[in-house]
């Protein structure tokens, strides 16, 4: 086996890991704050990609503006979904959140299929990021390096916002003890809207980053989200940093499996998930309740 192939696959693994990280980070924020397992996260990822494609085709808005605008648009849709739908079910069992977001997923995906059909649409790599570097042991396309870098920056910025800013302080407090936090005068319902919007905006940002790599299609989030949920089971719903690290390592592992045992590469994450569920059901970094 050539080193070219090995590093090539590891790079793809790292890129997938970056997408997983942004998706699972958003899910962790949403679950912590709202107690909702957002099955629709994949639909918001797709929405980010489709929005950036539409912006380019209909309005001539380029990639870098789309990378800012599309996640904001996705976040606003998310905030509206939270305010109109999710906020009504917090008093009920967590299972209802799962069911409702499943319905939201079907609705969003169905609308986009109806509107754009299922065919994949190409999104061009932005001119500034075309081409690549020959590193000797492998060829590194600029855009792929950019994706890894950009997602790390976004993940770090999210971590920073949660751990080091006043808004993050309120978010953490509301996650830990919402009732008491309200009794201090903090508007927790508004925080929940913001948290859900931010959580799905992360998925939207991943979608924009993914658009030039994968073809843009209404169903592009469907496969991704299954792997992301397996990763969350493996890592546990505990920490922000934990979900980033688990995502990247499992992405790499998937890449490695593609070289060593290609037939099993789609399976490896799920095999690990089963093993983790048997040994440490709360996840590797999760806390037992």
Partner 1 sequence: MTEPALAIADLQGFYGESHVLHGVALEVAQGEVVTIIGRNGAGKSTTMRAIMGLLKKREGSIRIRGHETIGMVSEKIARLGLGYVPEERGIYGSLDVMDNLLLPPRLGPGGMSLDEIYKLFPNLLERRRSQGTRLSGGEQQMLAIGRVLRTGADLFLLDEPTEGLAPVIVQQIGVAIGAMKAKGHTMVLVEQNFRFASKIADRHYVMEHGRIVDVIAREDVAASAGRIKAYLGV
Residues of this chain that interact with partner 1 (CB under 8 A) are 166, 169-170, 172-173, 175-177, 179-188
Q: Which of 19, 6, 15 is nearest to 258 (CA)?
A: 6
Q: Taking the complex as a whole, how short is the minimal distance between the CB of residue 189 and partner 1, in angstroms?
A: 8
Q: What's the CA gap between 210 and 280, in Å, rounded? A: 32
Q: Which of 252, 255, 265, 251 is nearest to 5 (CA)?
A: 255
Q: What's the CA gap between 75 and 166, in Å, rounded? A: 20
Q: Taking the complex as a whole, how short is the minimal distance between the CB of residue 184 and partner 1, in angstroms?
A: 4
Contact 281, 233 (CB under 8 A): no
Indicate the length of the chain as a whole number: 289
Contact 248, 14 (CB under 8 A): yes
Torsion, CA 192, CA 203, CA 17, CA 278, rounded to 10 = 50
Q: Taking the complex as a whole, how short is the minimal distance between the CB of residue 166 and partner 1, in angstroms?
A: 7
Residue 35 vs 132, nearer CB to partner 1: 35
Q: Taking the complex as a whole, how short is the minimal distance between the CB of residue 191 and partner 1, in angstroms?
A: 10
Contact 29, 44 (CB under 8 A): no
Per DSSP, 134 falls in state E
Q: Which of 276, 280, 256 is nearest to 17 (CA)?
A: 256
DSSP, collapsed to helix, strand or coil, labels residue 132 as strand
Q: Taking the complex as a whole, how short is the minimal distance between the CB of residue 188 and partner 1, in angstroms?
A: 7
Q: Taking the complex as a whole, how short is the minimal distance between the CB of residue 287 and partner 1, in angstroms?
A: 11
């Amino acid at each position: 086996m050539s080193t070219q192939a090995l590093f090539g696959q590891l790079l793809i693994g790292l890129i997938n890991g970056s997408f997983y990280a942004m998706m699972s980070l958003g899910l962790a924020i949403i679950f912590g704050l709202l107690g909702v397992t957002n099955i629709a996260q994949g639909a918001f990822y797709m929405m980010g990609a489709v929005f950036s494609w539409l912006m380019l085709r209909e309005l001539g808005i380029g990639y870098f503006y789309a990378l800012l605008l599309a996640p904001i648009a996705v976040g606003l849709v998310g905030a509206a979904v939270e305010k109109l739908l999710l906020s009504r079910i917090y008093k009920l069992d967590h299972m209802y959140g799962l069911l409702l977001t499943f319905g939201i997923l079907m609705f969003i995906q169905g609308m986009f299929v109806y509107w754009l059909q299922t065919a994949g649409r190409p999104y061009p790599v932005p001119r500034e990021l075309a081409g690549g570097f020959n590193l000797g042991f492998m060829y590194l396309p600029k855009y792929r390096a950019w994706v890894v870098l950009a997602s790390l920056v976004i993940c770090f910025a999210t971590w920073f916002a949660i751990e080091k800013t006043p808004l993050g302080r309120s978010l953490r407090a509301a996650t830990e003890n919402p009732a008491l936090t309200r009794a201090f005068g903090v508007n927790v319902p508004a925080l929940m809207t913001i948290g859900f919007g931010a959580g799905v905006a992360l998925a939207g940002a991943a979608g924009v980053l993914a658009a030039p790599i994968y073809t843009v299609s209404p169903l592009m989030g469907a496969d991704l989200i299954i792997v992301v949920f397996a990763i969350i089971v493996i890592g546990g719903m505990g920490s922000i940093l934990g979900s980033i690290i688990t995502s990247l390592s499992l992405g790499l592992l998937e890449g490695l499996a593609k070289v060593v045992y290609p037939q099993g590469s789609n399976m490896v994450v799920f095999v690990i998930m089963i093993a983790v569920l048997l040994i440490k059901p709360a996840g590797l970094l999760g806390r037992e309740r």
